[in-house]
Amino acid sequence: MSWRRYCATGEDTNVAGEEFALVLRPGDVILLSGQLGAGKTTFAQGVARGLGVVERVTSPTFTMVREHECLNDRGISKLHHADVYRVGSLDEVVDLALGELVEESAVALVEWGEIASSVFGLEVMNVDFSIDENEGRALEVTGALTNGRNSELDAWTEQ
Ligand SMILES: Nc1ncnc2c1ncn2[C@@H]1O[C@H](COP(=O)(O)OP(=O)(O)OP(=O)(O)O)[C@@H](O)[C@H]1O
Ligand SMILES: [Mg+2]
């Protein structure tokens, strides 16, 4: 199964992220993939808003991983936001301890996550971003973690 949503503007991508927060549960790992500038960080900022992150969320390109406290009533107390674009080797992935991003009461969003997907196994959701000829972004959600969440994902798609 896959779910699509088209975002004509950056604000649309942000709102798509905010509403995607309604699909999320504690312990989730979401891999964001798509070319440079495809909208991964914009989406992550929306997710953060949806999860009740108060502080400003910026791109973790150079720090690789950032952690944000969340304030919501859904049992998600932390958002890990990672960007593994600059990760050069599997050794570095191991050094970053990306596996530790998987936490019972946290959600992890990983930009360029496809690079490190072997670390996370199959129990993930993938959000793939592609840029169309009008500079809009087509988002597609797939992955084993979508199982049992059809109604939430249908609602996300139909906005
Ligand atoms: N649907 C959209 N339509 C038009 N512009 C968009 C859309 N979504 C995001 N953008 C814009 O694209 C630019 C790059 O977005 P963003 O930084 O989120 O991409 P990214 O995938 O995180 O890039 P990187 O690979 O460098 O991390 C921003 O200026 C953002 O506002
Ligand atoms: Mg980014």
| pLDDT per residue as tens digits for the range 30-67 | 999 999 999 999 999 999 999 999 999 999 877 788 99
Domain total of the chain: 1
Pocket lined around ligand 1, Cβ cut-off 6 Å:
7-10, 12-13, 34, 36-42, 59, 61, 111, 135-137
Largest CA distance in the chain: 41
In this predicted structure, which of 3-12, 94-103, 147-156 has the lowest mean pLDDT?
94-103
Domain span at residue 40 reads 3-157
By the 8 A CB rule, do 53 and 83 touch?
Answer: no
Q: Ligand 2 is a single-atom ion; what residues have CB below 5 A from it? A: 40-41, 59, 111
> Average pLDDT in the 2-6 region?
98
Query: Structure pTM?
Result: 0.95
Ligand nearest to the CA of 112: 1
**How many whole angstroms separate alpha carbon 49 and alpha carbon 92?**
30
Q: Which protein residue's CA is at the shortest distance from atom 10 of ligand 1?
A: 10
Ligand 1 closest atom vs CA 61: 27
**CATH code where residue 150 lies:** 3.40.50.300
Burial bucket for residue 86 (CB in 10 Å: 0-12, 13-18, 19+): exposed
pLDDT tens digit sequence for 82-134: 998 887 666 776 667 777 888 889 999 999 988 888 888 889 999 999 999 99
Question: Given this model, what pLDDT does residue 150 score?
Answer: 97
